[in-house]
């Protein structure tokens, strides 16, 4: 009869959660978003992103919490470090566990709670301004002063969201090196 004790261990749930987090972030940031931008007309691309990003940001927010809750205990040559939240908060784990997981969570929270909604709101404002101006936000200038301000605001918000996303991605990769070290 197969041993089912692994089902009760946090380790597989931890590594699966990490894989999903890194995989979805890598795919969305470096493949899916770029291919969609190059392949779809702007209106369809914007619709796709508006539908995708709330789910994407929710996953980016919830998976670091799951990582913190499922951190398996670490057996060393002389002791065992605790798992779960107490392991994340353990002084020996602050640099290579707490810092990257907290960074992942904080960057995701910033995107889900502020930058994502603010960017979407700005996109809608630009759409309304396009109707008033009779001209697309991305058409060659000159643009109305309102559209110039909205374009500038959108560029800032989109850039900030992308930067925050990349900081989170680097934290995920950093944490991956820690996990890889634990496997050796």
What is the rounded CA–CA span in Å between residue 55 and residue 62?
11
- Averaged pLDDT, 90-108: 96
How far are the Cα atoms of 52, 54, 109, 131, 154 from residue 60, in angstroms, in the given order? 12, 10, 8, 34, 22
Residue in 123, 121, 112, 105 with CA at minimum distance from that of residue 54: 112
pTM for this one? 0.91
- Res 102: pLDDT: 98
What is the rounded CA–CA span in Å between residue 29 and residue 173?
14
What is the rounded CA–CA span in Å between residue 184 and residue 174?
16
Structurally, the chain folds into a number of domains equal to 1
pLDDT surpassing 90 at residue 2: no
For residue 145, the enclosing domain spans 5-183
pLDDT surpassing 90 at residue 141: no
What is the rounded CA–CA span in Å between residue 25 and residue 19?
10
**Tens digits of per-residue pLDDT, 14-71?**
999 999 999 999 999 999 999 999 999 998 999 999 999 999 999 999 999 999 999 9
Q: Tell me, what DSSP letter sits at residue 97?
A: I
**Tens digits of per-residue pLDDT, 146-172?**
999 999 999 999 999 999 999 999 999
**Tens digits of per-residue pLDDT, 100-131?**
999 999 999 999 999 999 999 999 999 999 99
In the chain, the N- to C-terminal Cα span, in Å, equals: 29
């Amino acid at each position: 009869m197969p041993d089912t004790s692994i089902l009760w261990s946090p380790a597989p749930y931890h590594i699966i959660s990490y894989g999903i987090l890194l995989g979805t972030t890598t795919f969305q940031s470096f493949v899916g978003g770029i291919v969609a931008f190059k392949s779809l007309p702007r209106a369809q691309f914007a619709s796709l992103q508006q539908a995708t990003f709330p789910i994407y940001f929710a996953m980016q927010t919830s998976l670091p919490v799951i990582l913190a809750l499922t951190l398996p205990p670490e057996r060393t040559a002389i002791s065992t470090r605790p798992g779960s939240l107490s392991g994340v908060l353990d002084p020996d784990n602050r640099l290579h566990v707490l810092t990257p997981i907290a960074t992942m969570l904080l960057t995701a929270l910033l995107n889900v709670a502020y930058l994502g909604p603010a960017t979407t709101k700005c996109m809608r404002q630009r759409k309304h301004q396009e109707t008033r101006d009779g001209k697309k936000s991305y058409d060659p200038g000159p643009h109305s002063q309102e559209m110039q301000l909205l374009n500038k605001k959108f560029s800032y918000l989109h850039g900030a969201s992308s930067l925050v996303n990349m900081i989170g991605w680097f934290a995920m990769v950093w944490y991956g090196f820690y996990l890889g070290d634990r496997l050796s």
